[in-house]
Chains A and B, each alone.
Chain A
């Protein structure tokens, strides 16, 4: 099946710093989504981005489908950004395969 690799596995930032999270996948996909799982366990959809670039406030994402990777940018990080960031991909539909996640801790 499709493989999803996320890096780095964990990251500690000082509040206000910027960061880039990476997602590599092993096959051509028609669906890619980024999620944030907060410390209370809630999974929040950040982006649906099978290709191209999107921005939402301090967050932006870029997917280069032909090269099989996606990047999530967090600018001016805040403590509320802490949690686990998941990349999930699907060959078709929404049968998403999740990566292992990047654990982010933002210190004040």
Chain B
């Protein structure tokens, strides 16, 4: 699976949009972009995933650039409970292939 690069940490004001970037310049055509987050003292939680098109669900939006070399996870109205480590993962869906979690971005939402 392709490697990803994320900032080590970011701050965001409560109520504002949190935009978390991820670079994956070596992504292949059949690799998806997945986002998970891990709140302190909990296991990781799936957020969203996409291949080419932008995606939105009740938790977040995922914007993938046209060349697919980077993406942004958007939390539209960040709350204190969104403080967590956010993992961007590029993954090829095939039998036996497992997710690889990197270091992620520590997002601190501040009041």
The answer to whether A and B come from one shared complex is: no
**Chain B interface residues (CB < 8 Å from chain A):** none
